[in-house]
Amino acid sequence: MSKRKLQQKKYKQKAGLVLLGGLLSFVVQAQTDTVQGTMPEIQVIGKKNDRIFKSVPGSVDVISNKTISTIAPLSTSDVLRRVPGLNIIDEDGAGLRMNIGVRGLNPIRSSKVLVLEDGVPVTLNPYGEPQMYFSPIIDKMQEVEVLKGSGQLLFGPQTIGGVVNFITAHPPEKLTNRVKLSGGGNGFFSSYVSHGNTIGNVGYLVTYNYKRADNLNRLTFTAHDVMGKVRIKLNEKSEVGVKVGLYDEISNSTYLGMTQAMYDEGGYDKTILTPHDHMPVRKINFSATHLYKFNSNVQLQTTAFVYDIIRNWRRQQFTRNGPNANSSGVVWGDPSRTDGGAIFMSNRTDWRNRQYLVRGVEPRLDIKHKLFNVDNTLKTGVRALWETATEQFVQGNKPDSWGGNMRDNEIRNGFALSAYATNDIKITEKLSANVGIRVENFDFNRRIYRGQFPIGVNGANVVADTNVLFKRNTFAFLPGGGLNYTATDNITIFAGVHRGFAPPVVKSAITAVGIADEIDKELSTNYELGARFALKDYINISATAFYMHFDNQVIPVTLATNATGSANGGKTNHKGIEVGVDVDVTKALGLKHALPVGGNFTYTDARFAGKENVVDNLLPYSPKVMFNAYIGFEHTAGWGIRLFNNYVSSQFNDQNNTVTPTPDGQIGKIDARNIVDGSVFYTLPNKKISFNVAVKNLTNERYIASRNPQGIRVGMPRFVTAGVDIKF
C-alpha cells in the first residue's frame, strides 16, 4: 500500500474514533428531558428574528437557507457574491479555493477576513498563516452570517475587514432525513445525505457530501465531507454540543494560468496545462461547547476545538524565457517567444508539503446587569490558541514524481492569548451604546532545519542542514464602540468605530534564514455609519457608509498574490458606501404569489496614501463598483424562477495599476464583467420533494477572473446543473 493511501486510512480511522468517542462520552450522561433549540455554539450575529438587528453595532448580512436553496449554488462563491462589499474571485469555477475581499482589501486566499464555521476558525493557522486553501461545503450550510464593523472585536484575530461565519445545520427535533443530488456536464456530480433525530435529551445529525468533476473549467477533483453533531441537555441549566468533521479532497489544482497571447487566441480555455499537478487536502476537526446558565441573567459558554490540516501539493515547474536543461519538451503557446508569451514545461516537480495543527479553548461569559440603573449586557471572554505549521519542500526530477530531494524543512509555532469585553448599554428605550476592547498577544517562532542559504561574494544559494530558531512577539490593544438608535419599530440607525488588527504572517515576519524582517502587524481605524429599514416581511433596506485608514497595510508577497517588492504597503485609505434592497412586490400589494426583487450596490475607493511611488493608486483587486440584482416569481403551486445579475467594474492586480498586460498575463488591467445566472424550481405539494435547474453564466460571457497566481484564470463558462432535494 502506498504512503499516501496509508495516510488516508490513518486519518479516516482517526476521525471515526474521535466521532465515536465523542458520541459515547456524552450519551452516557443522558437524562429524560427532551432537548430543543439550536446547538450551543459561538454566534456572530445572534437573534435572527430582529430584522433590523437593533443590537448589532455595524453592517450585517444573513443569507438564509431559503436563499441558498433558491440560488442552487455550485460553490460558496455563488452565495457570497450576493453580499454587498464582498469581492469574490473564483479561480477554479468549483469554488474549492475561496478568495474573499472586503471593502477593497486583497481577496487572495481570504487572508484579510476572518472565516469561521459554527463560530470556530477554519483557516490554516488563524494567526501565523490565515489563508484559505479550501472552502466550507455549501451543501451542508443552514445559513451564512457576514459582519462588519465594531462587532468584530468579539472575535479575531482578524478584525480589519469582516467576519464570515458559515452555520451548519443543527440536529432536528424529530426524525429527519434528506437527500440532495445534482449533476451537470464535465462529469460534475454532487450528493448530500443527512440523517438526524432527537431522542430524549440527545439530538444528533450526521451528514455526508460527495462532489466530483472532470475538467470543470480545467479542474478535476473529488471531495468528501463528513460531519457529525450531537446536542445534549444535561439538565435545566446545562447543555453540551459536540461536532466532528472530516474533509478529504484530491484535485489537479495549479498555480499556472494562461499567457496573454493564449487568452487572446481563445483556444486554451479547457486545456489542462499541468496535468500532473496534484493537490490533496485533508482536514479533521473536533469541537465541543458547554453552555451553563447560572440564572436568567448570567451564562457561561466554553468552546474547545482542535483541527489538523494536511496540504501536500505537487506542482510541475516551467520557464517563460525558453527551454533549459530540465525542459520536458512540452511547450504551450508560440515556442519562438522568449518574452514570457510562451510556457516551457520542465521535468522538475516541486512538492510543497504542509501540515497545520490548531488547538484552542475559549470561555465566554454573558451578564445582564443594571449599571447606572439601566439595562446592560456584558459579553466577555478569553481565548488561548496554539498553532503549529510543519513545512517541507521536496524537489523531484519527473513531472509525476512522488518524491525527491528535500530542499527546505521547518516548523513554525505560535501561541496567542486574547481577551475581550463589550458592554451594551440601553441608554433610553430608543438609544443604546456599545463599548468594547480586545487585547491580542501573539508569540511565534520559526525553526529552520534545512534550507537555502546565500554564501560567497555573489550570494549563490547552497542547500544545507542547520538549526536556526528565531522568536518574535506582537501585541495589540483594540478599542471600539458603537451607537444604535431605533427611530421607529421599522428603522434603526447605527454608527461605530473600532481599531482593526491583523497579526504578521510568520513567514513574512521572520525570513527563511532566521532574520527578523520589518513586516509588522496591521493596524487600521474603521468607521461606519448606516441605517436599516424593514417593513413586515416584504421590505428590507440597508445603507452603510464606511471609511478605513491603515497605518501600514501589508500586501502579501507570495506566489499566490504574484506581488513583488516589500510587503509593506504603507498607509491606505478605503471609503465607500453599500446599499441593499429586498422587496416582495406582490406581498406589498397583498397578492397571493411572490415577486421578489432586489439587489445591492457597493462603491469602494481604496487607495495607497503613503508609499511614494504608488500614492493615489488603487489597491490590487479593489473594483470601484459592484452591483448585484435579482428578480423572481414564485407561484403558490410551488414553481418559480429567478434571475441573478453580478456586475464587477474593472480592477488592477498590481500596485502600479498597470493597464497594458504583460506577455505572461500576470500583470494588467482586468476588464469589467457582467454575469447573469438563473434558476427554475418546483416543489411538490407535500413540500418534501423539490426540483431545480440552474444556469451559471447564462450569456456565456468570457472574462478574466484573475491574473494570479501565475497567469490568467478564465471565469466559469455557461454551465447547467439539474438537481433534486428530498426530505423524509
pLDDT band of 710, cuts 50, 70, 90: very high
**Three cell numbers at 346?**
520542465
Query: Is the pLDDT at 387 greater than 70, yes or no?
Result: yes
pLDDT tens for residues 151-186?
899 998 999 999 999 999 999 999 999 999 999 999
The pLDDT score that the predictor gives to residue 258 is 96
Whether the Cβ atoms of residue 544 and residue 532 lie closer than 8 Å to each other: no
Domain holding 509, by residue range, is 3-727
Q: How far apart are CA 270 and CA 193, in angstroms?
A: 31
The pLDDT score that the predictor gives to residue 711 is 94
The closest of 304, 254, 305, 249 to 122, measured between CA atoms, is 305
Q: How many CB atoms lie within 10 A of CB 54?
A: 16
Q: Hey, which residues does 346 pair with through a beta bridge?
A: 327
**Three cell numbers at 205?**
445529525
Going by the DSSP 8-state scheme, the letter that residue 258 receives in this structure is B
pLDDT tens for residues 83-119?
999 999 887 777 788 899 999 999 988 989 999 999 9
Q: 3-state class of 502 per DSSP?
A: strand
Q: DSSP string spanning 163-194? A: EEEEEEPPPPSS-EEEEEEEEESTT-EEEEEE
Whether the Cβ atoms of residue 583 and residue 599 lie closer than 8 Å to each other: no
CATH number at residue 273: 2.40.170.20
How many residues can be counted in the chain? 728
Q: Please give the average per-residue pLDDT across 625-635, as a whole number.
A: 96
Residue 612 burial class via C-beta count within 10 angstroms: exposed 0-12, middle 13-18, buried 19 and up: exposed
The sign one gets for the Cα dihedral 460, 464, 467, 472 is positive
pLDDT band of 49, cuts 50, 70, 90: low
Query: Is the pLDDT at 588 greater than 90, yes or no?
Result: no
The pLDDT score that the predictor gives to residue 220 is 95
The pLDDT score that the predictor gives to residue 48 is 65
Q: What is the domain count for the chain?
A: 1
Q: How far apart are CA 80 and CA 82, in angstroms?
A: 5
The closest of 138, 118, 129 to 158, measured between CA atoms, is 129
What angle (nearest 5°) sits at the alpha carbon of residue 339, between those of residues 333 and 343? 35
What mean pLDDT is reported for the chain? 90
The pLDDT score that the predictor gives to residue 93 is 74
The closest of 424, 427, 422, 295 to 373, measured between CA atoms, is 427
- pTM for this prediction: 0.91
Whether the Cβ atoms of residue 100 and residue 115 lie closer than 8 Å to each other: yes
Q: Hey, which residues does 194 pair with through a beta bridge?
A: 178, 207
Query: Is the pLDDT at 470 greater than 50, yes or no?
Result: yes
The pLDDT score that the predictor gives to residue 565 is 52
Query: Is the pLDDT at 31 greater than 70, yes or no?
Result: no
Q: How far apart are CA 287 and CA 485, in angstroms?
A: 37
pLDDT band of 567, cuts 50, 70, 90: low
Higher pLDDT, 25 or 91: 91
Helices (H), 97-188: none
Q: How many CB atoms lie within 10 A of CB 587?
A: 17
Q: DSSP string spanning 551-568? A: SS-B---STTTT--S-SB
